[in-house]
Amino acid sequence: MSSNYGILFSPPLLQMGASSSTIAGIYTVYATMWNLSGPFVGPLSQQYGWRTIGVAGYLLISISLISSAFVTKPFYLYFTYSLLTGIGGGLLGNQAFLIISSYFKKNRGLANAIFMGSCSSGHFLGPLFLTYLLETYSFKGAALIHGAIVLNGSALALLYHPVEWHTKTKEIFTVNKSYSLTTNTSNEANKQLNSTFFIVIQKIIKNSKILSSYRAIILVLGSAFVRECYGAFLMLIPFALQSEGHTLETAAWCLSIASIGNIISRITNSVLSDHAWFNMQWVFVTGIFLTALSMLVFSLTTDMVWRNVFMVVFGYGTGIIMTLHNLVMVEVMGLQNLPAMIGVSCLANAGAANVIGPTAGLVRDMSGSYALSMLTLAVFSSMSFLLWELMPLAKRYDLASTMRTQKALTKDVEKSKQNQLF
């Protein structure tokens, strides 16, 4: 949805005279809600099942697009698009990774590669398809058709069967569980929802303790800066190109070309990451560098040939980041800390979205230049690269801190043994 925002909504927003701050603000709220939904996906799926959450996510996005077709003021999009699509997209996007881990054991890597490839295919076809709908049916028709297509996802989400349904030893348990759910009163359902909410809040507070590690801080902030710049950059491209006199179709092809590099990157790095010689952290930092460099070049040149070339580079760089993000977390922090890192990252991404997006919009409104706005995003992305340069120091400091803690614990144990002897 992030790559389609600028394509679908640029015609009505430009027609309504929306400022760049408003345009960026609508996207910022969407990104914030998307990230804040992340920590709730696991507990909600455990409580209500994959299918319920999947259907709810698709319904929210479909209602969002259909209702957005009738907006008359930019302000209404904060609710019809930002809130509804943000929550729905967050539920579906984060649920997908959990489902793959739950459904696949032997072929999990292959399943993840297919999933990544299908996402990139959607990024390639989405802008071009929406441009065709806009040219043929106008904004209202395009939004209604898009919403109707997304609604079909609710039927597909019904195929998210619990694994237990397909194992004979679990059949009786599943039936009893379904029966017990039908006998719950509405008050009990509300209590369960409230309990789920407080459980998530407690987990968030517990997970935040991981930030006592400098390695975790670099991972979280480094990821937040570049990931939110990536979304904001794609959001600005259609508006920037149309302000230069290019057509919406040119902007759509520009976004689709980036997805070519993205899909190549996701597939190749998914395969190569299993080899011992593959330096995952070095490649991840290279992805950050390529992403920031591409934004910089795009903002400084007006030649569409070079812009398209670096959009492929941009797609390849972001593909590296998306593919290796969780794997790098495991390599640096350990598998046992992955849930905490993901939860904290979602909150950091939400916070970064509220800084990066509005700043880019404000720069455009004050300067009248989309180039300066994109240059601002390149600077923010470069901060991720600079943070990673501090990772060796962070590793040494955390190691020394761990050794000091272990020595202190050893002394306490020895003292307690001596006291017991006397």
**Structural domain boundaries of the chain?**
2-415
Q: For the ranges 109-113, 270-274, 374-378, 397-401, which has the lowest average pLDDT?
A: 109-113
Confidence of residue 42 (pLDDT cuts 50, 70, 90): confident
- Give pLDDT tens digits for 116-129: 777 778 888 899 99
Residue 318 pLDDT: 93
Confidence of residue 305 (pLDDT cuts 50, 70, 90): very high
Residue 68 pLDDT: 94
Average pLDDT for the chain: 85
Q: For the ranges 6-15, 71-80, 99-108, 226-235, which has the lowest average pLDDT?
A: 99-108
Per CATH, domain 2-415 is 1.20.1250.20: yes
Residue 171 pLDDT: 45
- Give pLDDT tens digits for 333-347: 887 887 788 888 888
- Highest averaged pLDDT of the listed ranges 89-103, 118-132, 318-332, 366-380: 366-380
Distance from C-alpha of 152 to C-alpha of 355, rounded to nearest angstrom: 35
Higher per-residue confidence, 99 vs 396: 396
- Give pLDDT tens digits for 259-299: 999 989 988 888 888 788 989 999 999 999 999 999 999 99
Query: Using CB atoms within 10 A of its CB, is residue 60 exposed (0-12), middle (13-18) or buried (19+)?
Result: buried
Which whole-number Å values give the CA distances from 29 to 36, 86, 127, 358, in the listed order? 10, 8, 21, 10
Average pLDDT of the segment spanning 38-58 = 84
Q: For the ranges 19-28, 160-169, 186-195, 287-296, which has the lowest average pLDDT?
A: 186-195
Residue 295 pLDDT: 96
Long-range contacts of the stretch 165-172 (C-beta < 8 A, 24+): none
Question: Is the distance from CB of 298 to CB of 314 less than 8 angstroms?
Answer: yes
Distance from C-alpha of 92 to C-alpha of 112, rounded to nearest angstrom: 15
Residue 187 pLDDT: 63
Distance from C-alpha of 99 to C-alpha of 413, rounded to nearest angstrom: 44
Q: List all residues 6 or more positions away from 259 whose beta carbon is below 8 Å from its beta carbon.
A: 3, 120, 121, 123, 124, 315
Average pLDDT of the segment spanning 373-383 = 95
pLDDT at 181 over 50: no
Residue 189 pLDDT: 57
Distance from C-alpha of 327 to C-alpha of 269, rounded to nearest angstrom: 11
